[in-house]
Every structure is written in C-alpha cells, then in structure tokens.
Amino acid sequence: MANEGPDDRKKGLGRREVLECMVWAGTGVLWTITGGVPHSVGLIGEAAAAESVKGFTFLQMSDSHIGFDKAANPDALGTLREAVAKVKAMPNKPSFIVHTGDITHLSKPAEFDNADKVFGETGVQIHWVPGEHDIIDEDRGKAYLERYGKGSKGAGWYSYDDHGVHFIGLVNVVDLKGGGLGNLGAEQLAWLEADLKDKSASTPIVVFSHIPLYVLYKDWGWGTEDGQRALDMLKRFGSVTVLNGHIHQLAQKVEGNMTFHTALSTAFPQPAPGSAPSPGPMVVPADQLRSKLGLSTVTVMQGNKPLAIIDKTLA
Amino acid sequence: MQILMNQLRLATARFTPGRAVVAAMLVGPVAGALLAFAAVAAQEENVVTIDNFTFTAPELTVAVGTTVKWVNHDDIPHNVVNKDKLFRSKALDTDDSYSFTFASAGTYDYFCGLHPHMQGKIIVK
C-alpha cells in the first residue's frame, strides 16, 4: 500500500470497480488471428509454446511517462527499466520495437535523455510516434522531432517496410480542436492516401499511433476525430493491425480484417472507461502495480498470415 | 497585524472596493482584518481550478480588466488554449498556474490542448 498518495482518488474504487478493471484489462490473454477471426489461445502462463513458434516478432511498448513521480507510480523510470530487462531476457530477439507515445511526461530534455538511455539498453531499433506528453515543450514538438523525427513528415508521421509488412506511424496528438478528440489532419490523411496508393491489397498493414484511431470512449477523449477516414483507406487490405496506447490498459477488438489493440503502459494504469471520475492515473496497491504494467509481443507468421499478440505484464 | 493590513491594502488595490472592504475599513483593525480575508477569499472567485480533467467553474463571468488564474490540481499536465488563439498557456504540471487578464468584453471559449474534451468559457462584461 506504499504507493497510496494523500489524495482521495482511491476512495471511489470499491471492490466492484476493481473487478471491472481486472475484467477490462484481461491481463495476459494470448490471442491469435486467422483470417480476421480471433482465437483465444490461453493465458500468459500457457503462452510459452506459441512464443517458440518461428516468425517475425516485434514489440509494442507504450506510455513510459518518464518524469512521472506521483502516487500511481513514484518511479516510472524504474518500471521502464524492468520492462527493458524483460526485453533483454527474451530468447528470440525482436526485430524492433514500436513505441506508441508518451515517452516522457513533460517533454523535458532530461526526461528524453533518461528514456533514450534506458531504451538504448535493449539494443533493438525503436520506431516512435509522439503522445501528447511528448510535444509540450516550449516549441510544441520541436524537441521530439529533433530526436525522433528524422525521415518523417509533418509532425512526425512515416512508413516503412519490414519482412513484407507495411508499417505506418501516424501522429494524432497535434493541433487538437476544442471539444474534439485526437486529430490526424488533412495533410497527414493526404500523405496516407498517397502512401497506400500503390500497395497491393495482400500487403499486411500495421498502423500505429498514440491515441486509439477509433472512438473507444468519447467522454474521455479516447478516440480520433478523423480516424475513420484513415481506417476507410485501409479497408481494402486483407490484414490490418492497429496498435495504440494512451489509455494505459488492454483493449482489443476485431472488425472485418482489422484488428485493434491498445497496449499497457510501463508507468501507471488508468481506469476502465467511465469507472472513475476521470481518466487520471489510477492508484493501485503497490503489490498490484506491476500486474497492470507491461508490453506486447507481436508475431507475424509468414505464409498463412496468422498474427499473434501476447501481452506481458511486469509482474 | 501589519501583514493583515497589507493584505487589506492589496485587496483594496486590486479590486473595486466592495461593501466588505469598505466595512472593513470602517469597523476597525480586528474586524477589518477578518473582513479583508473575506475580500481575499473573494479573489478566489477569479480562479478556475482543474480537477479530474474538468475546469471548475466551467463558465465564469468577470468584469473587464479582470485577471483570471487557472490552477491544475491533477496528476497529469493540462494547458489552457483559447479557441480564437488569443491566449495559450504552457503545459501546467501539478499545482502550476497560468493567468490571463481580459482587457475587453466578450465570450472566450477555451479548452485543454492535451485533452480537448475539457472545455470552459470566460464571459467578460
């Protein structure tokens, strides 16, 4: 209980709400997709067999919030170190890491420095997109772009190909409008359309951004205003995987050939939609914190195209 | 008492002397100081607090020339962005504040640039 702060946020979290959170978080469920249909394979303890399957593997890490030191986790850098230790211990080295934003809490140079230092220990290439916490420096995103924006367009969007999969990093945290949600903007959407133009429909697509591209919970701003326009452009593809962060909990859904997945944070959990007065950091007993933090392993198997996402907690 | 009287002066200097302050000056130092506190408390009426991703009060009416202060009490940074780009705060970490003086009458819609579902309004008369 050492992590409890003086605030009264926890007072509203009764047993029922805790259980709801646990159900929502669905900690550690392994699932695979074949032809767009998800099959629950088992819990994390049973996942060892699937992990040993030969395939192309990358990781999704998210919401590191380096610099965060409040009651919900006084040491966000420490829990990132634990996550990185798990990456280093993996028997099969991932091809790369996709980081879905909120690297830092306040976009301070020292926070970016600390993040870079710890992430650098993985020895794995990292593809970044910014979260809203990464662009709140005085120059509104300049610090992020100077570090991570090389070769990107606009506010930091880009695409690349790896193992025959087309990866697209989108930025939906810039130039947000009052009353609105996340925002891609006309320039980025035009770029996306051009980027996809010559791609064959059989090309597997992985698209990642910080805020969920679909509207997951409007009251808390968990969605992207013009995200549907991007998703419409992706509909013709046979396999589309959408990876997001921002909400600090697992949420998964499948629509046609599209699979949506939000990752755990490595810093602090947030409440299930509508289960608390606000989406602010959720204080849980210290001995439960690591069961609500984690990272995701995504395996793309060649040929028959099943795709597996395994969410590992830090517990 | 010197400090209290300073606060009284501060209060009277900043605001159109309301009845409370006038009464404070008439009634005498002790009661006056107490009422001066009331006047200082009244200053808080021009403060918008941010708690649980909400601006409170969401709608505030002030006189022309009033300085409004926003204070963030959340564990998460927020900022204050006017819809018409007249003012925009830097990111406010926990307990950070931002002030803006409204020089002319009008309705000023604002939101949090990080969490734009958070909205508020200042009406200046």
Token pair belonging to B119: 């909205």
- A24 within some domain: yes
Mean pLDDT (chain B) is 79
A136–B contact, CB cutoff 8 A: yes
Sign of CA dihedral A127, A133, A136, A140: positive
Instruction: For residue B83, list chain A residues with Cβ-Cβ distance below 8 A.
Output: 178
- A135 within some domain: yes
Residue A105 to residue B81, Cβ atoms within 8 A? no
Per DSSP, the residues of B5-39 read HHHHHHHHHHS---HHHHHHHHH-HHHHHHHHHHH
Q: What per-residue confidence (pLDDT) applies to A300?
A: 82
Residue A72 to residue B75, Cβ atoms within 8 A? yes
- Beta-sheet pairing, B54-56 with B67-72: unpaired
Query: What range does the domain containing A88 cover?
Result: 9-313
User: CATH number of the domain that A14 lies in?
Assistant: 3.60.21.10
Domains of chain B listed by start with CATH number: 2-44 (no CATH), 52-124 (2.60.40.420)
- A1 within some domain: no
- A4 within some domain: no
Q: Which residue of A has its CA nearest to B50?
A: A278
Pick among B75, B93, B108, B111 to test the A interface (most A CBs inside 10 A):
B75
- A3 within some domain: no
Q: Which of these ranges, A81-90, A290-299, B15-24, B53-62, has the smallest mean pLDDT?
A: B15-24
What is the predicted ipTM? 0.81
* pLDDT tens for each residue of B1-17: 344 434 444 444 444 44
Question: Which pLDDT band holds residue B45 (cuts at 50, 70, 90)?
Answer: confident
- Beta-sheet pairing, B59-62 with B47-51: unpaired
- A123 within some domain: yes
A221–B contact, CB cutoff 8 A: yes
- A144 within some domain: yes
Report cis status (omega within 30 of 0) of the bond before B57: yes
Cα separation, B79 vs A94, whole angstroms = 38
Q: What per-residue confidence (pLDDT) applies to A93?
A: 87
Q: Which residues contact B47 (CB under 8 A, 6 or more apart)?
A: B68, B69, B70, B71
The count of residues in chain A is 315
Instruction: For residue B53, list chain A residues with Cβ-Cβ distance below 8 A.
Output: 220, 278-280
**pTM greater than 0.90:** no
In chain A, how many domains are there?
1
* pLDDT tens for each residue of A93-135: 899 999 999 999 999 999 999 999 999 999 999 999 999 999 9
Pick among B56, B79, B117, B122 to test the A interface (most A CBs inside 10 A):
B117
Instruction: For residue B111, list chain A residues with Cβ-Cβ distance below 8 A.
Output: 177-179
Residue A280 to residue B93, Cβ atoms within 8 A? no
Residue A107 to residue B91, Cβ atoms within 8 A? yes
- Closest to A106 (Cβ–Cβ): which among B74, B77, B116? B77
Per DSSP, the residues of B30-97 read HHHHHHHHHHHHHHGGGEEEEETTEEESSEEEE-TTPEEEEEE-SSS-B--EETTSS-B---B-TT-E
- A106 within some domain: yes
Token pair 């009458």 in the structure block, residue: B105
Among A71-80, A248-257, B44-53, top mean pLDDT goes to A71-80
